[in-house]
Chain A
């Protein structure tokens, strides 16, 4: 099948790929672009480990075909820091120990970034509801919610 080049903005830089547009964004990120911070958990949209931002909206890269991000802004965990300074969410997860093994962490942080993008000052309840689709099998949920709460009330630097 003939493939037109697909251009999009990845972590602030333009990338153009010549590959099958039906491939899933998760595997293009991890394999072609070697950005392995985005994790494969279930591949079925259930766990949230693969979450990235597409035009600021939290999106499951395991269900998103590459064609769907043509011309859009994709942000992965690797692109969240600014000028070498970690994002407030990254700092808060570190401070609060919002992880154990860390497998779910990039998805958690990216979904939280999408949440704070939409609601800069969420209540605890809004955080819990907004994070409902991200699973942590180590069970760090309490500390994850605490980290997001503290990032939301902190400096308020937006993704």
Chain B
């Protein structure tokens, strides 16, 4: 598998991991970080000369972020950790747990990490849509862009800008340290809901399309904030911003949800491949966004207008 490997490092700190990667890059030859290895080993790139294993780094955590709400999730937290996190289950309708629970089989989830899922930058990765629907950002240490700043400096990149193309994360050789999720801006008397949807041959398959939605309504039942994110329907996981704009400021009801779903489908840029044709992906984007928004409506306690 890694026939040409010259060095396999297992550092215990982020600083040591960056130092090792920098030294290896100077020495020449291709290399990679590895967390769970569920993408890297399968890709089987025989040209790798060095690997820096991240599994000893103290980055396996789900923490509350201060008093204001919000979360930080360490990059080596596994999908199984997310799926089982009782704290995250109570946050944002457990949308992140639901997405993690559909990623691969139990054996894959026991090894595969949130950092690997995002850094692999597959357009179909299951954690991207819920994290985009939560306005998450990636905290990155080191790498070409970081080196220009203070040594050991960290930069924060909005997840939307983190995905540059298939397999192209905005890491520049840096290390993804943690994911930050801000507290959702729910106004007093308002309500919020999130939902994740995935279409695959089996639930554990790589998604044909996946989608997440998040909606916040004020006490007047008008939508104040909306997030619609779709995966496997373009070169990167994407936000359907025009569909979001269609929801904001209007009463959030079934008609609004269906109109937004149709618009969201128009914002996708799918390709045809072994899993599905582009047309099917576009149509299923509409269906899944519609379902996710319907689920949000239901979670808010049926149609908010029902009491009128």
- A interface list, Cβ under 8 A from B: 1, 20-22, 24, 44-45, 48, 51, 54, 57-60, 62-65, 67-68, 70, 111, 114-115, 129-130, 132-134
Chain A CB within 8 A of B55 CB = yes
Asked if B37 and A68 sit within 8 Å, CB to CB, the answer is yes
Q: 14 interchain pairs (CB within 8 A)?
A: A1-B7, A22-B2, A24-B41, A54-B110, A57-B110, A59-B107, A59-B110, A60-B111, A63-B41, A63-B42, A65-B34, A114-B106, A133-B106, A134-B105
Chain A CB within 8 A of B93 CB = no
B contact residues, total (Cβ < 8 Å): 27
Complex partner residue of B5 from A22, A62, A111, CB under 8 angstroms: A22
| Chain B 37-50: CB-based contact to A (< 8 A → 1; otherwise 0) | 11001100000000
Chain A CB within 8 A of B6 CB = yes
Given contacts A20-B8, A22-B2, contact A111 B38 (CB under 8 A): no
Whole-angstrom distance between the Cβ of A76 and the nearest chain B Cβ? 14
Chain A CB within 8 A of B241 CB = no
Chain A CB within 8 A of B202 CB = yes
Asked if A115 and B106 sit within 8 Å, CB to CB, the answer is yes
CA distance A45 to B10 in the complex (A): 23
Complex partner residue of B37 from A20, A65, A132, CB under 8 angstroms: A65
If A44-B42, A60-B107, A132-B105 are given as contacts, then 6 extra A-B residue pairs at C-beta distance below 8 Å, sorted by A number, are A48-B105, A48-B107, A57-B110, A68-B53, A129-B203, A130-B106
Chain A CB within 8 A of B258 CB = no
- B interface list, Cβ under 8 A from A: 1-2, 5-8, 10, 34, 36-38, 41-42, 51, 53, 55, 80, 104-108, 110-111, 202-204
Asked if A67 and B104 sit within 8 Å, CB to CB, the answer is no
A60 contact set on B, CB distance < 8 A: 38, 107-108, 111
Residue of A nearest to B42 (CB): A44
Asked if B1 and A24 sit within 8 Å, CB to CB, the answer is yes
Asked if A133 and B7 sit within 8 Å, CB to CB, the answer is no
A21 contact set on B, CB distance < 8 A: 8, 10
B202 contact set on A, CB distance < 8 A: 132
Whole-angstrom distance between the Cβ of B3 and the nearest chain A Cβ? 10
B8 contact set on A, CB distance < 8 A: 1, 20-22, 65, 67
Whole-angstrom distance between the Cβ of A27 and the nearest chain B Cβ? 9
Residue of B nearest to A21 (CB): B8
Whole-angstrom distance between the Cβ of A86 and the nearest chain B Cβ? 23
CB-CB nearest 9 A-B residue pairs: A133-B105, A22-B8, A57-B110, A63-B41, A60-B107, A58-B107, A21-B8, A132-B204, A44-B42
Asked if B38 and A63 sit within 8 Å, CB to CB, the answer is yes
CA distance A48 to B106 in the complex (A): 10
Residue of B nearest to A60 (CB): B107
Asked if A45 and B42 sit within 8 Å, CB to CB, the answer is yes
A58 contact set on B, CB distance < 8 A: 106-107, 110
Whole-angstrom distance between the Cβ of B78 and the nearest chain A Cβ? 9
Given contacts A24-B1, A65-B34, contact A111 B106 (CB under 8 A): yes
Whole-angstrom distance between the Cβ of B73 and the nearest chain A Cβ? 19
Residue of A nearest to B84 (CB): A118
A22 contact set on B, CB distance < 8 A: 1-2, 5, 8, 51
CA distance A48 to B2 in the complex (A): 21
B51 contact set on A, CB distance < 8 A: 22
CA distance A59 to B111 in the complex (A): 7
